[in-house]
Amino acid sequence: MSRARRFARNVGWNMIGQAGSIAVNLLMTPFLIGRMGLETYSLYILLHAASSYLMMMSLGAGGATVKYIAEFSALGERGCLEKTIEYGALVHVAGVAAAAALLAVGAPLVARGLLKVPAPLMDTAIFVLRCAAAGAVFATLAQFSTAVMQGFQRFDWHNGLSLIQSLLMPLGAGAAFIAGKGLRAAACWYVLLNAAICLLSLVMVARLAARASAVGRDRVFHFREFARYCMSLALGPLAWVISFQSDKLFIANALPLSELTLYAVPAGLLQRLQAVPAAMSSVLVPMMSEIGGPQSQEQLSRLYTKSVRVLLWSVLPALVLLFALMPQFLTLWLGADFGGRSVWPARLLVLAQTVMMLTYIPNSVAMSRGKPWYLSASAWGQASISLVAWWWLVPRYQLLGMATGALLAQILPVGVYLFAVHGKLLRLPAGRFFSEALGAPLAGAALLMALVFPLHHLASSWPRLLGLGAAGTLLYYSSAWLLLGREDREFIRGLVRQEFTLQRAS
């Protein structure tokens, strides 16, 4: 299968999984907020956030596992594959298990001192934090397993597991509240679900490892080589947690607990849109790792510009529509409190997400070329700016200050990061990047904004909002087809013809 078709197939699996996840959460979030209330739902958010904090202690082992599995699988070096699986499991679990034990013991101190949970919710908060600690250990083993799947380019298996978890977690939490069991039962469900996903994923990894080919000649693969790559990635996840998860701790500490829900629910929806570029990036790392030889520079540059173009065509319509229709969307989805107090923070977060889209494909280039510290440097620039901006802005502007800090943290480092990747790794001129990657998608986005924003006040009901969104999306992709280059059109036609042929054959 050609590289382009593998890319389309694997990203397609990722998109299907994420679309199902977003749909379920759109349906379940209003129900859960209605059952819990703003304060209790904030603890439900912290259940997932605390688990994410703990999982950063996997110390970059996920990225290292993907890279080395892809390399050794392509070379048929079975012994090195087995060593990679062994090292990946060890590094994933060791740090997270230790951190989880600390959180379980220190949960009362965290709830009282850091989160400032109100007294009536204190016992529940402590129980939730301890469930987050237990769930994080199982989730980390599942994360290790999905890294192995990505390295073998089994994105169908990886996304099947992600979809199962994304579907069952909110459904199980909803069932707990319908049965009158409350947040404690939902937290127990989080632990049990992660344990089941962990067991299933480990069985799938064992099957993949057993079927790996052994046609190449194994070299000696030492733990220190794996660990060195992990350490070059280790600080990146910590910076990511500071930028995209510590905002919840910051709000819980500085503002009333109910404000966390008003901010985190729209932010969580927007973070789910990161799944599309993250899916593309994860697909590209093993593909780019395979590129070598005298023509590798040009092959890599062409794959890079095409990938950025496809990413922007995929994501920009949703971001433009969310920015334009945010007041009406939040009011219809979650109620007047969100439609009033959360609108401009959410709009600023949309802009932050738009800027962030430009970093995902460069991340793939840096990882595949053995420069993972590029990611860490960029991520720490974002984290540092976030902390300074939040410290100064939140006491003055509350939630609007949080969102402004997030936007500044994306805008300020991105130029330096792109300059480093384009100049050092790709030798890609700025003019070529704009003409081949940015120009056409941005022109389509500007046209969509010009159509929808003046009419956003008309979207006062779900049929009107969906109709306006559908009309705008149709306009966007009609203009996209006209702006596509010949190569892209032929690629799309080829994919459609291939799928039609396969369906007829089956």
Tokens 């006062």 belong to: 460
d(CA 451, CA 475): 9
pLDDT of 253 = 84
Predicted TM-score (pTM) above 0.85: no
d(CA 65, CA 146): 10
Q: Helices marked H in 56-178 — which ranges?
A: 61-75, 78-109, 122-151, 155-178
pLDDT of 16 = 59
Q: Which residues of the chain have pLDDT under 50?
A: 1-2, 495, 498-506
What is the 8-class DSSP label of residue 342?
S
Residue pair 318/448 in contact (Cβ under 8 Å)? The answer is: no
Q: Give tens-digit pLDDT for 78-120.
A: 888 888 999 999 999 998 999 999 999 999 999 998 888 999 9
pLDDT of 505 = 45
Q: Give tens-digit pLDDT for 381-410.
A: 998 999 999 999 998 899 999 999 999 999
Give which of 405, 402, 353, 399 is closest to 384, Cα–Cα: 405
> Hey, how many other C-beta atoms are within 10 angstroms of the C-beta on 343?
17
What is the 8-class DSSP label of residue 180?
T
Q: Within its chain, how far is the Cα of 498 from the centroid?
A: 30
